[in-house]
Structure 1
Amino acid sequence: MLFTTEEIQIIREQALEMDKHRRVSPEMLRTIYDHRLFHLFVPDELEGRMTTLPEATRIFQESARIDGNLGWLVTIGAGGGFFAAYMSAEISRRLFAHREAVIAGSGMPTGTARKVDGGYIVNGSWKYCSGSTYATTFTANAVIDSGSTDHDAGNDGASLTRVEPEIRSFILHPDQVKIVEDWNAFGLRATASHTISAADSFVSSEMTFSLAESIEYEEEAIYQYPFLPFAQVSFAAVAAGIADHFLEAAESLAMQRNRSALVFDKLNKCKAALEQALSTFYETVEDSWRELKRDGRLAEDTEAGVTAASLAAVQAALSCGQHVFPLLGLSAAMEDTEVNRCWRDLQTACSHALLRND
């Protein structure tokens, strides 16, 4: 077990207040910093604690089992270490090599950037930037403003060809962004997944990168893992951890309220289904990691298998809430109960676009 009994107790005791006030507690952040959980995918030479994907996945699940907000923030924060492969070693050291370093940002290209001498002028807004209130660095994707989206392919201007926009990632300091506190979701309330915006922010060329161009730390296997299945594996582990906590809280409540045998039968069936899905999930992740270490890449069918196992694990986790929650009675409908908080966190986590089967 990564966390001490005392750490778990403190975080769970503070969970209700974090949920009510929609902010992470200093004690929970301190625990994350102490274990260097935001640095799970940061190279050791940058004061990281580089971790294999299978091991990190179990850490994500364990964190989420303690508290959904903890699991989500650890997973998102650790994922920012992926960007070290796309930055120069000098920039990476500046951004990652200290205890409280963590990136928040968005992958959606909802900003624009205009080229100027020495860099770019960036404008835009980006939603769902988890960890925004304590991030030491922000990253955001923006479309490069070329002045035109069409190209005149004919002498008379009658024939126009659509040009694909260029997208780059921009590294922003906290004083270059405004946090719009609009994260009002009913679950994962303490994740500070707010919108950030930038207005005429100058970003030097060295503080930009392309996700199509890996330039550093090629010896680190995690940076060779395809990003989509990497993200799906990470989020699936969070969903599983929250489901674990939900089932624990549901069983406790059912015992307190002397619920019928039907409730406990459903609980046991959900536990078994989740365990089976997670067994396949972890076996698939570990097999993919061995393949990556052996071949330096994943085959397409392996990627597809990882995605399928991740989505199956998420569906099993979500089903726990869907099948058990309605059987718990009105007491579970109260927002200040542990089981209600877990249920809301589970619904919210599983709503992520990468985890939906539509």
Structure 2
Amino acid sequence: MNEIQHPSTLLQPRWVDIIREHAPQAEQLGKLSPEQLELVYEQQWFNLLAPAAYDGLQMPLPQLVQTEEALAWADGSLGWVVTLCCGAGWFGGFFDPEIAKLIYADKQACIAGSGAPTGTATIEGENYIINGSWKYASGVHHATYITVSCHIIDDDKPILNDDGTPLIRPFVLDAEDVELLAGWKYIGMIATGSDAYKVDNLRVNKNRCFNIDASAAVINEQLYTYPFLQLAEATLAANIAGMAMHFIDLCGPAFKYKATNLRRVNEANVAVMDEALASASALLNQSRIAFFDAVEASWNQPGNEVYLKAVSSTSRVLAKIARECVDELYPYCGLLAASPDTEINRVWRDLHTASQHALLTFLL
């Protein structure tokens, strides 16, 4: 791939208008606005990775990461909620079919959750007793079902894997059985509503338990045998790239505003800003090309460890370059970029919050 399209080419202008017009309202609400949510349902974005067997879109990974980048370009919080919730929808490839049919019978089905193993599931006959609390579940306020990761307990003792590590399994629960807790207090991604939740002594049937492993996939399709690690890395990196592209798009108007308000404006100063913008755009696009090429190659050569490792490395590099490009341009944007009620500041806050995700912190 020598050239790369701008994220805007993948979205209808009407969609972008709805998403951005209601982004400030969503931030005030601490969750997606009703208008944004209606659009998500209309376009089935929560079902991007849900199995076609349950009327999901089952989108191939190369197309998915471009779509998610475009949504994050439209608005970081909306893109992140769609990504995390449709990512949980990917678990549909591993759910017990009886439970999956129940979940996806609702055309507004939305699954949210946390992968942190901070709960316990105690075996009781054919059931489990779930207890625990979990943090940072993006989109949880829109969820119809919520996943939890638990240590499996039997006779008051943790069950161990063959290598001696604790056995941990995820469960999918009805949202009405989960208590939401206020927990998101960070500077960005406010509209994701990434709050905490807890479960107390909830009895569930064993069919609510599933295993995220290619060998345990219930749906025999490539999407559900693709490694979860690289799928997660790629989808998160695509979001961060989309936010960076949004910030870069806003730099042009911000630079002009700053130039007209400087007491001493000269061509040299303008040239410095323009050169920085052109350089950052080129660098980010080069990284995007390498990233999308790596995802495409890993999809076309299933199971190839070299290509999968390239997805991991290019995802991390893309996140790093996106953050560095934005930070390079930020000083030229003036106080406009530091005002919390401006679009460019919201994008800056969202990117710097999202890019703190531990999965993309360290380069390989």
Task: Give the TM-score taking structure 1 as reference length.
Answer: 0.91
Deviates more, 1:324-333 or 1:122-131: 324-333
On the 8 A contact 2:152/2:159 being kept in 1, the answer is no
Post-superposition Cα deviations, 1:318-355, rounded to whole Å, max 9, x if no partner, equal 11221111222222110011111111111111111111
Residue 149 of structure 1: how far off its partner (Å) = 5.3
Post-superposition Cα deviations, 1:293-321, rounded to whole Å, max 9, x if no partner, equal xxxxx222222111111111111111122
Residue 289 of structure 1: how far off its partner (Å) = 0.7
On the 8 A contact 2:51/2:90 being kept in 1, the answer is no
In the TM superposition, what are the counterparts of 1:131-146 in structure 2 within 5 Å?
Answer: 131-146=139-154
Unpaired runs of 5+ residues, structure 2, are: 1-8, 261-269
On the 8 A contact 2:152/2:158 being kept in 1, the answer is no
Q: Which letter maps to 1:228?
A: L
Residue 55 of structure 1: how far off its partner (Å) = 0.4
Q: Which letter maps to 1:356?
A: T
- 2:344 maps to 1:334: no
Residue 16 of structure 1: how far off its partner (Å) = 1.7
Among 124, 129, 145, the alignment partner of 1:121 is: 129
Which residue of the partner structure matches residue 242 of structure 1? 243
Q: Which letter maps to 1:185?
A: Y
Among 202, 213, 216, the alignment partner of 1:214 is: 216
Aligned-pair Cα RMSD in Å: 1.8
Which residue of the partner structure matches residue 185 of structure 1? 186
Q: Secondary structure at the match of 2:293?
A: helix
On the 8 A contact 2:114/2:149 being kept in 1, the answer is yes
Among 48, 69, 76, the alignment partner of 1:61 is: 69
Task: Give the TM-score taking structure 2 as reference length.
Answer: 0.90
On the 8 A contact 1:48/1:97 being kept in 2, the answer is no
Q: Which letter maps to 1:307?
A: S
Q: Which letter maps to 1:302?
A: Y
Q: Secondary structure at the match of 1:257?
A: helix
Q: Distance in 2 between matches of 1:273 and 1:82?
A: 32
Unpaired runs of 5+ residues, structure 1, are: 152-160, 293-297
Q: Secondary structure at the match of 2:291?
A: helix
On the 8 A contact 1:37/1:78 being kept in 2, the answer is yes
Which residue of the partner structure matches residue 85 of structure 1? 93
Which residue of the partner structure matches residue 359 of structure 2? 354
Q: Secondary structure at the match of 1:258?
A: helix
Q: Which letter maps to 2:315?
A: S
Q: Distance in 2 between matches of 1:199 and 1:301?
A: 44
In the TM superposition, what are the counterparts of 1:1-358 in structure 2 within 5 Å?
Answer: 1-146=9-154, 147-148=156-157, 163-212=164-213, 214-218=216-220, 220-258=221-259, 260-292=270-302, 298-357=303-362
Q: 1:89 to 1:244 in 2, by over 3 A?
A: same
Q: Secondary structure at the match of 1:209?
A: coil
Q: Which letter maps to 1:304?
A: K
Q: Which letter maps to 1:105?
A: G
Q: Distance in 2 between matches of 1:278 and 1:162?
A: 39
Q: Distance in 2 between matches of 1:150 and 1:98?
A: 35
Q: How many residues align?
A: 343
Identity within the alignment, % = 34
